[in-house]
Structure 1
C-alpha cells in the first residue's frame, strides 16, 4: 500500500528532470510511510522517455519510479492522468523546474495526516533566479508561482482567489474524485502557452465540496527561474494571462444569478485600478517593469469578463 504519490508532470523535461529526481532521492524521514514517484510525460518530443528508462534501469530505492505517457496536451490533462495512476491517497504534484527541500515528502505526508479535512495544500515556494530580478519584484512574484505566507500554517481564502499555486501542490485523492469535473474550465499550459489559473480551479472545486485549503510552511521548494522568464516580454505576457483568468475563476463556483454581478464588479473594479495605477505611475512605466506588469494584470482582469464570454459562446 502506498501512502503518498509524488507526481511530476513534464513537457520536454529532459534537461530539468535529473535535478528534481536527485532531490527526491535525497529525501529524509520517509521510513514510516510508503511512497512512489510517477512521471507524467505530457506528449514530449525530446528524450524524456529515454531519460526515465535509464533511471529505472538502475533504480534501487525502496520507493518505485513509474513513467506514463499522456498524449493529450495540457497540464490539466497531465494532472488528471497522475491522479488516475497514483497509488497513494495523497498526490503531491511538483513541477519539473521546482526543487524540493530534503524533507518535502515527509512534510507533505505528515501534514495530510494531521489535517484530514485538508483537500488541497501547498507550501513555501522560493524563487531561485539565474539573474537578479527587477527591483520590487516581490509585488509580482506570484505570477511565477513564488509563494511565501509566513512560518505558520494558515487557511487560504478561496473566496478572494488567495490560493496555493500548482507548482508544488498536494491533493487528497478522495477530494479530487468528489470535486473535479471531467471537463475543466481552464486547460492550463499547453506547450509554450502561458494560459493560467488551472491550478486555482482545482482548489476552487475542492473547496466548494467542503474541503479545506491550507498553506503548510514546512513544505519548501525552490522554483528555478531562468533569465528568459525575467525578460520584459515574458513577464508582461504572463501578467496579462493571469489577469485574463480572473473572471473565469470567479465564475466557477458562482450561481447563475450572481454571474452578471460578478462580471460587472470585475469590469468596474479593475477599471478603477487601471485609472489609479495610471495616475500613480504616469510617465514611469518605461523604467518600472514591475509597475508595467501590474498594469498588464489589471488590464487582463478588466477584460476578463469579455474573454470569458468569448470562450463561452
Structure 2
C-alpha cells in the first residue's frame, strides 16, 4: 500500500481511458488544481481499458502528488468496453461518491467541490450530473443543438431538477457522479450494454445503470453548479460518425424501456415503440423531402427514429444470441 492511501474516503474521481497518453495529462492537471478540497479525503483512480500506448506511465508520473488527503491509483482492466471500465472503478473506489470523468472531459476548478456538496445536501440522490459544454475543434453544423445531447453536451439552465427517467431523459455517463451505496445496492454486476464496441456502436450502458438506480427508488439530479468542458474533435462532427452514432443510440431504446416495465406493459411498449417512431420517421421524411442529403441534422434524426423503430427486433436478436451463447457454454 502506498504511504498516503486511505481506506474510507469522501470522494473518488474515476477516469476510464483507452490510449489516453496524450489526453490524460490535461485532465489530471485540472483535477490537481481543484479548489475547496483541502478538507476532503479523496482520490483519483485511472482505469486503463487495455490501452496499447504508455497510459500506465502517465499514471506513474502523477503519483508524486499524493499527500495525506489525496492519492492516485492505477488499474488495468483488460475487458474492453466502457461498462467494464466503470464497473471496475466501482469495485476499486473507496469514496462515498464516485465521479466518472472521461479523458476528454475538462472540469472547472470547483467541479469536485460542487459535486461533493450536492451529494451531501441530497441524501436521496443516487446520481447527479451538471452542465457539460462543448469544446469544439471545428464549428458544429447548423441546428446542432437539436442533437447535441447525443454527444454528451448538456446545458439545461441554472435551476436544479430531477431527470425524467421514465421517459429516458437522463444524463450521460461522462461527468456523472454516483453514490457508491446506491450503485452497489441497485445495479447488476453485469449490464446488457457494454459500450460502443461493435461497428453498430450500440450505446445504452449509461442509461441502463441509471434506470436501475431509478427502479430502486434513488433520485437522479441535474446540478447546474457543476461545469465540464467536453472536447469534441472534428471527426465526431463528420457525417459517417454521426449517422452510426444515431443508429447506435436508437437500437438500445426498446431494451432500456423494458427495465422498469411491468409484464403487462411490455406488449404496449412494443407497439408504441414501433408505431411512435414510424410516425416520427414519416413526419421527418415528409418535412425534409429533398433535403435528406444536405441537412445533416435531419438525416441524423431520421436514422435515430429508424433505429428506435426496429429496436424491439434488435432486442430479440440479442436475447437469441444470449441463449445460443449459454447453450454453447454448457455444451463445452
Which TM bucket (shorter chain)? over 0.9
Unpaired stretches in structure 2, ≥5 consecutive residues = 1-7, 321-332
SS of corresponding position for 1:123: strand
Cα deviation code 1:19-58 (max 9, x no counterpart): 10011011001123211100011111111112211222x3
Question: Does the 8 A contact of 1:150 with 1:217 survive in 2?
Answer: yes
Question: Does the 8 A contact of 1:11 with 1:191 survive in 2?
Answer: no
1:200 aligns with 2:204: no
Query: Could you say which residue in structure 2 is the equivalent of 1:106?
Result: 113
Pick from 59, 64, 73 the counterpart of residue 66 of structure 1.
Answer: 73
Pick from 125, 136, 143 the counterpart of residue 132 of structure 2.
Answer: 125
1:241 aligns with 2:235: no
Query: Could you say which residue in structure 2 is the equivalent of 1:265?
Result: 272
> What is the aligned length?
312
Cα deviation code 1:219-260 (max 9, x no counterpart): 110110000111100011101111111111101121223222
Question: Does the 8 A contact of 2:10 with 2:97 survive in 1?
Answer: yes
* TM-score where L is the length of structure 2: 0.92
Shift of 1:131: 0.2
Q: Whole-Å Cα distance in 1 between the matches of residues 199 and 279 of structure 2?
A: 32
Q: Whole-Å Cα distance in 2 between the matches of residues 35 and 111 of structure 1?
A: 16
Q: Whole-Å Cα distance in 2 between the matches of residues 17 and 276 of structure 1?
A: 44
1:226 aligns with 2:233: yes
Q: CA RMSD in A?
A: 1.3
Q: Whole-Å Cα distance in 2 between the matches of residues 264 and 53 of structure 1?
A: 53
Q: Whole-Å Cα distance in 1 between the matches of residues 230 and 120 of structure 2?
A: 26
Describe how 1:140-219 pairs up with structure 2 within 5 A.
140-190=147-197, 194-219=201-226
SS of corresponding position for 1:167: coil
Cα deviation code 1:106-162 (max 9, x no counterpart): 000000000000001111101000000000000000110111111110000100101
Shift of 1:90: 0.4
SS of corresponding position for 1:68: strand
Question: Does the 8 A contact of 2:200 with 2:244 survive in 1?
Answer: no
Larger radius of gyration: 2
Cα deviation code 1:49-75 (max 9, x no counterpart): 12211222x325541111011111111
Question: Does the 8 A contact of 1:73 with 1:191 survive in 2?
Answer: no
Question: Does the 8 A contact of 1:75 with 1:188 survive in 2?
Answer: yes
* TM-score where L is the length of structure 1: 0.97
Cα deviation code 1:151-186 (max 9, x no counterpart): 110000100101011111001011011111122121
Q: Whole-Å Cα distance in 1 between the matches of residues 194 and 72 of structure 2?
A: 27
